[in-house]
Amino acid sequence: MNIGFDAKRLFFNGSGLGNYSRSTVGLLLRYAPENRYTLFTPKEGNSCGFGVPEHVGVVTPQGVRALSGSLWRSYAMGRAIRLSGVDVFHGLSNELPADIGRVRARSVVTMHDIIFVHHPELYKPADRWLYTRKYSRSCREADRIIAISRQTAGDLINYWHIPEEKIEVVYQGCDPAFEKPVGEKRRREVRAAYGLPERYILSVGTIEERKNLMLTVKAMVAGKLDVDLVACGRHTRYADRVMEYAAAHGIGSRVKMLHSVPFGDLPAIYQMASVFVYPSFYEGFGIPILEALNSRVPVITTRGGVFPETGGDACIYVAPESTEEMLHALKSVLDDAAAAEGMRTRGVAYARNFREPVIAANLTAVYKSLL
């Protein structure tokens, strides 16, 4: 098979959708090398450092089409797909080209979530309209939809009335780098580079209201916890509000925010943490939970939604509005070494359900079913 991918985020997005794109293409290269792979991207470059093997094709707009990569990606990529001889085209981040219907190749789109439907208050009206238009059209036109969780599949059925038989749930994995123990020398280098404390709570993900970092800060204040908080993620105005709250309550020096952290430093940052917190109000899957479980870090996350699907029996679950529950969960991990070790052991065992060979086999089965 010749499989084509929308690779814009693979090359240029350093966070969630980009990580999914790199993980998906990377694991297929490793575990399904019998296929041909072609990457379609609206401009040249590779700011995320993805290593493209020589035998993998990379297609970019040429001539006058190169003047507007975004327009090419939306309205002219189909022609490039047709000329490349791709058998199956996979849109990795919620959308397909608008001209995909003119292509003989079969099409697959991965749907991560429809958060803008669940929480419209977090989005501008124009963005909600655009996402609904693009993503729902892609779901209607795709030959098959990959949902990254049962929750996302259910949302597509309930909100957009997508036929259940059109959807396959294929979980996403995380980079194998999180499974490998980081050596002491590398840990010392990373700790020194970021000024990390000896003992810290870790949060990873865009520092936005939906991720709910404030809950952890409030729990630290309420319990007068003798521990620091390290948050890795893109800066937002919400991040400023969190820092202002921490400073106003006397723990500003205990909250450290790290922005634009290179991917290569994250495994060490995870593995040196005492506990990982992810009290998000809503996610399509929650890949940082899986990264933490593979890193042997105890995880506290949200009760309900997709989170038990991602974390299984390995996590402590709290109500995202309850400072009291978060405080109790933090103390149960930080003050009880045996309990924390038990969570680490269960976490590694549960994370095996999301290993790369299983995901590669499931993706390949979806592609073959279309031919």
Reduce the DSSP state of residue 128 to 3 states and report it.
Answer: helix
Q: Rounded to an integer, what distance in angstroms lies between the CA atom of residue 298 and that of residue 314?
A: 8
pLDDT digits (tens, 9 = 90+) for 38-54: 999 988 888 888 889 99
Domains annotated for the chain, with CATH where assigned, are 2-173+355-369 (3.40.50.2000), 176-353 (3.40.50.2000)
Q: Rounded to an integer, what distance in angstroms lies between the CA atom of residue 108 and that of residue 89?
A: 6
Rounded to an integer, the average pLDDT of 170-177 is 89
Q: In the chain, what is the straight-line distance between the N-terminal and C-terminal CA atoms, in Å? A: 9
- Burial track 187-207 (b if 16+ CB lie within 10 A, e otherwise): beebeeebebeeebbbbbbbb
**63 falls in which pLDDT band (50, 70, 90)?**
low
Q: How many other C-beta atoms lie within 10 A of the C-beta of residue 166?
A: 15
pLDDT score, position 116: 93
pLDDT digits (tens, 9 = 90+) for 5-22: 999 999 988 778 888 999
pLDDT score, position 64: 54
pLDDT score, position 71: 81
**175 falls in which pLDDT band (50, 70, 90)?**
confident
**67 falls in which pLDDT band (50, 70, 90)?**
low
Rounded to an integer, the average pLDDT of 179-183 is 96
pLDDT digits (tens, 9 = 90+) for 116-166: 998 898 889 999 999 999 999 999 999 999 999 999 999 999 999 999 999
Task: Give residues with Cβ within 8 angstroms of 254, minimum separation 6.
Answer: 220, 227, 228, 229, 246
- Residue pair 4/86 in contact (Cβ under 8 Å)? The answer is yes
- Beta pairing class for 200-204 and 167-169: unpaired
pLDDT score, position 66: 58
- Beta pairing class for 275-278 and 106-111: unpaired
Q: Rounded to an integer, what distance in angstroms lies between the CA atom of residue 105 and that of residue 94?
A: 18
pLDDT score, position 339: 96
Rounded to an integer, the average pLDDT of 70-78 is 82
pLDDT score, position 240: 97
pLDDT score, position 84: 92
**367 falls in which pLDDT band (50, 70, 90)?**
very high
Give the CB-side neighbour count of residue 321, counting CA atoms within 13 A.
0
pLDDT score, position 65: 56
pLDDT score, position 75: 79
Q: Rounded to an integer, what distance in angstroms lies between the CA atom of residue 92 and that of residue 110?
A: 5
* Helices 323-334 + 337-351 axis angle, to 10: 100
**73 falls in which pLDDT band (50, 70, 90)?**
confident
Higher pLDDT, 284 or 145: 145
- pTM (predicted TM-score): 0.86
Mean pLDDT of all residues belonging to the chain? 94
Higher pLDDT, 118 or 64: 118
* Helices 125-141 + 150-160 axis angle, to 10: 100
